[in-house]
Amino acid sequence: MFPLPIDDEHAPLYSVGQVAAMLQVQQAFLRRLDEFEVVRPHRSPGGQRRYSRHDIGQVQYVTALASEGMTLNAIRRILQLEQEVQRLNAELAEMRHRLGKQGH
């Protein structure tokens, strides 16, 4: 059996309207997240925004930050810094792994 797009959390399956209804947010809010490069959904061949489950999780997180009073610029920076921390942690883990192999 082969994997289906629904099994892939990064498959762009949901429209702006579906996500807005699901998360009870305005479609305009979702468009602003894209314009501010906070959450960038995929685009269909016709140019429509399509969200994956991963994107929807990001929108939920961003919505929570926005409800605490953070601006979209601040949220974008937080997301960038979180990605950088993840990258650095992965790099650190790889270096520790390499050093561990050298000690044996």
Name the region of 24 (left: φ>0; alpha: ψ -120 to 50; beta: rest): left
Confidence of residue 6 (pLDDT cuts 50, 70, 90): confident
**Out of 1.10.357.10, 1.10.1660.10, 1.20.120.140, 3.50.50.60, which CATH number does the structure's domain 5-102 have?**
1.10.1660.10
Catalogue the long-range contacts made by 72-78 (C-beta closer than 8 Å, 24 or more residues apart): 72/32, 72/33, 72/36, 72/38, 73/36, 75/38, 76/36, 76/37, 76/38
Q: Are 30 and 19 in contact (CB under 8 A)?
A: yes
Average pLDDT estimate for 27-36 = 96
Q: Are 15 and 48 in contact (CB under 8 A)?
A: yes
Average pLDDT, the chain: 93
Report the candidate in 71, 48, 57 with the shortest Cα–Cα distance to residue 22: 57
H/E element holding 51? strand 49-51
Q: Could you give the dihedral angle defined by the CA atoms of residues 12, 29, 77 and 96, in that order, rounded to the nearest 10 degrees?
A: -30
- Write out pLDDT tens, residues 41-90: 999 999 999 999 999 999 999 999 999 999 999 999 999 999 999 999 99
Q: What is the pLDDT, as a whole number, of residue 11?
A: 92
Q: What is the pLDDT, as a whole number, of residue 104?
A: 62
Domain ranges of the chain: 5-102
